Structure 1
Amino acid sequence: MNRPLRTALVIGTSVVVVGAMVAAAVGFGGRNPATSPNTADPSATTAPVTRTTLIRTQQVNGVLGYGAPVRLNALGHGTITWLPAPGATIIRGTPVYKADNRAVPLLYGSLPLYRLLRSGDTGDDVKEIEQNLAALGYTGYTVDKSYTSTTAAAVRRWQKDLGLVQTGVVDPAAVVLARAALRVTEVIAHLGDQAGGPLLTYAGTTRVVTIALDVALQSLVGPGLPATITLPDGSTVDGTLTTVGAVATPGEDDQPATIDVTVTVADQSKLGRLDQAPVVVRLVSSKRDNVLAVPIAALVVLPGGGYGVQVMTGSSTHDVAVQLGMFADGKVQITGDGIAEGTLVVVPS
């Protein structure tokens, strides 16, 4: 899989510098603010002050795929006699490869197996093996940290079903351990190679979006935060930030350093048949709940400085000074004397 595209420093209209937005809004309006009540222009367009939630977003580039590939080495000895095809999905209990025509199955876990396991052994690695045997339907023992004779009996039944020598001993070189099911991304070894070297690369079986995020934007991300993904066809799907890297990768050719961010998608069906594609991810940079807001174009520059809005009362208008808050989605947060939800303000047409 190619490395995720560099973070796009594309700023949406909702994140434009405040001063520029106000200047543009007033300029487009083309109005001279009134200093005293005036009769309203009958053709004037008005908009009510609304109570709303303003959300400012940042768009970055990402890549849809199955996550960063992991290299797998074949352990032990023997001649490789079978390999999976690229794109194949391998689940617990099924062969990852075969050496000397003996299956080397996949087991799930996070603790690497580092020793031969036999009756009398204790530890977390024992429990990991027993959990896998139970998930595969082998019973007759207690899932704990003790490798008993009943554990060994279950291992022999498992080995028999795999067509292996029934030793009752688990050899780390006779299994492949991963956290979950695998999707083969590339096969490195060839039939006839000796086991003990690079075998293949794999990724997860669930599509995710990976982002190489400019470290200057890391304050926008955190596990559990929402994100919106725009696919190549223009459709959007909701995502959730799940992992945020803590180590920055130096940029190349004067590009900024980046951190790796992963976005998961709960509804995989909305991704269609895409296996890998460039996407745009919208991150929430800030949010204000329950604020009063008006269209940006309603702002006027007051003669004494500062900003205001032209309030319409009946058939007359008057200017009211306001304090500005967040700008987002073509609106601006305002506060001021007499400004309340439903107050009508003039907006140039």
Structure 2
Amino acid sequence: MAETVVQTDHERGAAPAPPPRGRRGRRTVLVASALVVVAAVAVVGALGLGGGGAEKGSSAPPRSGSTVPVTRTTLTERTTVDGQLGYGTEIPLPVKATGTVTWLPAEGTTVQRGRTLLRVDDRPVVLMYGALPMYRELGLTAGTQQETGTEGDTQDTGEQGGGTDETSGAPAPSGSPTPAGAGAGPGGAGGTLRGMDVLQFESNLAALGYTGFTVDEEFTDLTARAVKRWQKALGLPQTGTVGIGDVVYSAGQVRIGHAGVRLGSPATDDVLTYTGTSRKVVVNASAAEDSWAVRGAAVTIGLPDGKSVKGEVASVGKSATAPEGEGGEGGSAAPTVPVTITIEDQKSVGRLESAPVTVEYVGRERADVLTVPVAALVALAEGGHGLETADGRFVAVRTGLFADGRVEVSGSAVRKGMNVRIPE
């Protein structure tokens, strides 16, 4: 009997019949879903999750990666803000001389005690050191004026002719000289001019080398003689009387700022501005985050050349202002307060006079706490953070302060010296 050979469609080279409509798409979805489920299970198994305890058993071999120990240390939060190196805010010189400005110093000039700040009607306006402003004329009153004779008749009292500015014995230069205060008025027996302003002027006169009188609160005939010698050295008429516009006081030597008038203009309140001679840093600190700015607080100043110098908060502004022309749409920039930082070691700044700098200050601090590198933290599926031990187990931890690339951790399963893995 002849054999019947039946060829299948596949053997005949025919294409297999297409599956019923819709089945292929459903199969693809089912396969993809299965893969997702398998991947999810693998992840859960690798992380050792599924329980609620602090320490989890590992269901997978330890993963590769370096391990680090949990250490106990002090974490310090450091924050860096921008600042500006300079000589501080320029303020007007309290010039009381009236007349025409006939000479002005160059901007940036340093003026010491006894030197000329400017000339008005070709008369020098001289810098002296002190807190009281020049508020009245100093001289002999009608009841104490005496014939003092000429310079050649001056008695031999050990007076040193003076006339040159001294560089020693002067008060330490102030960062921002701020003439202020009030003096005592004239008084005393016989109409003698007395007061703290007399003492202040006589102290300066003696420091410049014009002596022969007692430095006290009384302007005497001997004081007038010394004033005449001082006036002669300045090329002024030797009257023995100090005019209210002849002297300007500051707490120390000053650095000339910009001029508010030109030569030939009348002397006004803003004829010249000045600062102290010590460089400092001003930071416009956020008014909402200025708790670090406490007088006396130590900071670190980063210079443009990469060097760091020590600084100290000297003053903090009491009024917050919003920077002009700043801020995004629909709102203005956050209010700031000026924080002035002094630099004790002026040589450490080099020759820089003005430059943008950074200021690093210490914020929060946590002493004697357990810490790990931030990179060692892993996110747990049930929420929060955990650490992977060297043998592949995962333990839940609570995090605290983040600082210097490390984080404070705590929990019942965490201990000092415990090795944890840094995930790759």
Question: TM-score normalized by structure 2?
Answer: 0.66
Query: For 1:214-272, what per-residue CA distance to the aligned partner results, in whole angstroms no more than 9, with x for missing partners?
Result: 21122221112222333334443332221110112244341222211112223333433
Match of 1:137 in 2: 209
Pick from 309, 314, 319 the counterpart of residue 237 of structure 1.
309
Q: Residue type matched to 1:163 in 2?
A: G
Q: Residue type matched to 2:338 in 1?
A: D
TM-aligned CA distance change 1:112 to 1:73, over 3 Å: closer
The answer on 1:328 being equivalent to 2:403 is yes
Deviation at 1:84, TM superposition (A): 0.7
TM-aligned CA distance change 1:143 to 1:322, over 3 Å: farther
Deviation at 1:67, TM superposition (A): 0.9
The separation in 2 between residues aligned to 1:67 and 1:310, in whole angstroms, is 53
Query: For 1:70-100, what per-residue CA distance to the aligned partner results, in whole angstroms no more than 9, with x for missing partners?
Result: 1236423343332211121111110001233
| Runs of 5+ consecutive residues of structure 2 not aligned to the other structure | 1-45, 50-55, 141-191, 326-331
The separation in 1 between residues aligned to 2:63 and 2:71, in whole angstroms, is 23
Match of 1:95 in 2: 116
| Runs of 5+ consecutive residues of structure 1 not aligned to the other structure | 1-30
The answer on 1:342 being equivalent to 2:417 is yes
The answer on 1:225 being equivalent to 2:246 is no
The separation in 2 between residues aligned to 1:276 and 1:104, in whole angstroms, is 29
Aligned counterparts, 1:130-279, within 5 A: 130-196=202-268, 198-253=270-325, 254-279=332-357
Query: For 1:130-171, what per-residue CA distance to the aligned partner results, in whole angstroms no more than 9, with x for missing partners?
Result: 332233233344444333444434333332332223333332
| RMSD after superposition | 2.8
Aligned counterparts, 1:23-34, within 5 A: 32-33=47-48
TM-aligned CA distance change 1:87 to 1:66, over 3 Å: same
Deviation at 1:123, TM superposition (A): 2.7
Deviates more, 1:103-112 or 1:302-311: 302-311
Pick from 356, 360, 372 the counterpart of residue 294 of structure 1.
372
Contact (CA 8 Å) 2:322, 2:336: kept in 1 or not? yes
The separation in 2 between residues aligned to 1:341 and 1:200, in whole angstroms, is 64
Contact (CA 8 Å) 1:33, 1:300: kept in 2 or not? no
The separation in 2 between residues aligned to 1:62 and 1:334, in whole angstroms, is 34
Q: Residue type matched to 2:421 in 1?
A: V
Deviates more, 1:260-269 or 1:119-128: 119-128
Q: Residue type matched to 1:156 in 2?
A: K
Deviation at 1:185, TM superposition (A): 2.0
SS of residue paired to 1:220: coil
SS of residue paired to 1:167: coil
State the aligned residue count: 316
TM-aligned CA distance change 1:255 to 1:42, over 3 Å: closer
Deviation at 1:331, TM superposition (A): 0.5
SS of residue paired to 1:132: helix
The separation in 2 between residues aligned to 1:42 and 1:305, in whole angstroms, is 21
Contact (CA 8 Å) 1:70, 1:203: kept in 2 or not? yes
The separation in 1 between residues aligned to 2:413 and 2:259, in whole angstroms, is 70
Deviates more, 1:323-332 or 1:36-45: 36-45
More contact order relative to length (CA 8 Å, sep ≥ 6): 1
Contact (CA 8 Å) 1:88, 1:183: kept in 2 or not? yes
The answer on 1:62 being equivalent to 2:101 is no
Q: Residue type matched to 1:268 in 2?
A: Q
Match of 1:309 in 2: 387
TM-aligned CA distance change 1:187 to 1:304, over 3 Å: closer
Contact (CA 8 Å) 2:68, 2:420: kept in 1 or not? yes
Deviation at 1:37, TM superposition (A): 6.1
TM-aligned CA distance change 1:145 to 1:217, over 3 Å: farther
